[in-house]
């Protein structure tokens, strides 16, 4: 096994085709096939499954491709450190964020990326946690931020922060006063405006209500955050959200955010990365950068109601 074989194998896994990989690498297809066969014989496992449209990596093939990518990056960084010619991060990376997180994080992250990594082009797309997971599995995004509960054998997850949820009300609602606490039972008993069941927030609230034997009174289902908040402002119901996602409305006096006490309602924000395709130096370094930026927002109290 040598670095050239590992590098070529990664191209095969990325393209799902020996023919396409051979064209990209500018080598003969039979020679590339022999390299793969040599790896399989050395490791005594099948690395690829052949089919009519190309190849698919086996579980062992995926593991090898991911570990090989790490090895090659380590070798490249080592050479750069020794020679003093370590290349700056560059390329395009796409991340997926839930709507409430996007409201807080997207602009900050884009600005910080431009400052810190000027050669990196960051694309941000927003969708429910379930959609973010699906995009990651299909290769539409490189990294995903979502709320707990999004699991898959092909996704690696790690917790980033715990986000407390607040009862969000119109200032004219009964008992509504900025900063006044409310119990979880009283919050869940309110007429609520919530997203539909595809949204992780809805599932989290329903789970807590079931555990407390509370029947929710859902007066409206709205998936668009600005529309949801507009209905809350009009007094048509309350909602339950992170305080940071409504901070401008609270500061301007258009909404009230009440801390839920006694039995807190919270949820864990997680970072998701794919296990079904090779990683890269850009993705691994940006994952660290993204986590550090979120933690920075929390410790500087720009993301209120959260803990590391």
Least confident of 40-54, 77-91, 199-213, 258-272: 77-91
pLDDT at residue 87 tops 70? no
Residue-level pLDDT at 123: 93
pLDDT at 156: 87
Residue 143 and residue 93 in contact, taking contact as beta carbons nearer than 8 Å: yes
Domain ranges of the chain: 3-83, 91-161+268-307, 162-266
What is the average per-residue pLDDT within 161-189? 85
Q: What angle do CA 119, 121, 122 make, to 5 degrees?
A: 135
User: What are φ and ψ of residue 89, in 5° steps?
Assistant: -60, 135
Check if 3-83 and 162-266 are the same fold. Answer: no
pLDDT score for 2: 85
> For residue 48, how far is the Cα from the chain centroid?
29
pLDDT score for 84:
58
Q: Among residues of the chain, what percentage have pLDDT more than 70?
A: 94
Q: Residues for the chain: how many in total?
A: 308
CATH superfamily to which 91-161+268-307 belongs:
Periplasmic binding protein-like II (3.40.190.10)
Q: Mind listing the pLDDT tens digit for each residue in 110-149?
A: 999 999 999 889 999 998 888 898 998 888 899 999 888 7
Nearest to 190 by CA among 175, 207, 211: 175
CATH of 162-266, one of 3.90.1150.10, 2.30.30.90, 3.10.129.10, 3.40.190.290: 3.40.190.290
- CA distance to 3, 22, 64, 67, 180, per residue, from 12 (Å): 14, 8, 12, 15, 59
Q: Provide the pLDDT for residue 1.
A: 79
Q: What is the pLDDT of residues 276-294, one digit of tens each?
A: 777 777 888 899 999 999 9
Question: How far, in Å, CA of 101 to CA of 185, rounded?
Answer: 26
Residue 83: its pLDDT value, please?
Answer: 63
Looking only at the bridges linking them, the beta strands covering 54-57 and 48-51 are: antiparallel
pLDDT at 86 over 70: no
Render pLDDT for 8-38 as a digit per residue (tens, 0 to 9).
888 888 888 999 988 988 899 999 999 989 9
Stretch 195-223: mean pLDDT, rounded? 84
pLDDT value of residue 107 = 92
Average pLDDT score, the chain:
85
Degrees to nearest 5, angle at CA 72 with 68 and 23: 80
User: Is the pLDDT at 80 greater than 70, yes or no?
Assistant: no
Domain 3-83 has CATH 1.10.10.10: yes
Q: How far is the C-alpha of 260 from the C-alpha of 68, rounded, in Å?
A: 48
Top pLDDT among 262 and 161 is at 161
Mean pLDDT lowest among 164-173, 263-272, 285-294: 263-272
Read off the tokens for 104.
Answer: 């807080």
Mean pLDDT of 300-306: 76
What is the pairing mode between strands 256-261 and 182-183? parallel
DSSP string, 79-107: HHHHHT-PPPP-EEEEEEE-HHHHHHHHH
Name every residue whose Cβ is closer than 8 Å to that of residue 187 and which is 6 or more positions away in sequence: 167, 238, 240, 258, 260, 265
């Amino acid at each position: 096994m040598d670095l050239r074989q590992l590098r070529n194998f990664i191209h095969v896994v990325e393209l799902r085709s020996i023919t396409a990989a051979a064209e990209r690498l500018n080598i003969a297809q039979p020679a590339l096939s022999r390299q793969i066969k040599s790896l399989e014989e050395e490791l005594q496992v099948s690395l690829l499954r052949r089919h009519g449209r190309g190849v698919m990596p086996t579980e062992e093939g995926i593991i090898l491709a991911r570990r090989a990518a790490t090895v090659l990056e380590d070798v490249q960084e080592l050479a750069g450190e020794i020679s003093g010619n370590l290349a700056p991060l560059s390329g395009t990376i796409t991340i997926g964020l839930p709507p409430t997180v996007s409201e807080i994080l997207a602009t900050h992250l884009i600005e910080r990326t431009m400052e810190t990594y000027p050669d990196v082009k960051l694309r941000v797309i927003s969708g429910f946690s379930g959609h973010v997971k699906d995009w990651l599995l299909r290769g539409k995004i490189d990294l995903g931020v979502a709320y707990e509960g999004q699991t898959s054998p092909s996704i690696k997850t790690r917790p980033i922060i715990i986000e407390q949820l607040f009862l969000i009300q119109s200032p004219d609602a009964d008992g509504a006063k900025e900063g006044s606490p409310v119990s979880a039972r009283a919050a869940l008993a309110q007429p609520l405006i919530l997203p539909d069941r595809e949204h992780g927030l809805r599932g989290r609230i329903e789970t807590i209500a079931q555990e407390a034997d509370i029947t929710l009174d859902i007066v409206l289902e709205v998936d668009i955050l600005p529309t949801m908040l507009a209905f809350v402002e009009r007094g048509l119901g309350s909602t339950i959200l992170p305080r940071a996602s409504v901070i401008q409305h609270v500061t301007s006096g258009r909404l009230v955010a009440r801390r839920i006490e006694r039995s807190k309602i919270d949820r864990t924000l997680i970072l998701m990365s794919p296990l079904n395709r090779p990683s890269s130096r850009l993705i691994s370094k940006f994952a660290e950068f993204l986590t550090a930026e979120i933690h920075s927002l929390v410790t500087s109290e720009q993301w209120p109601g959260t803990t590391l």
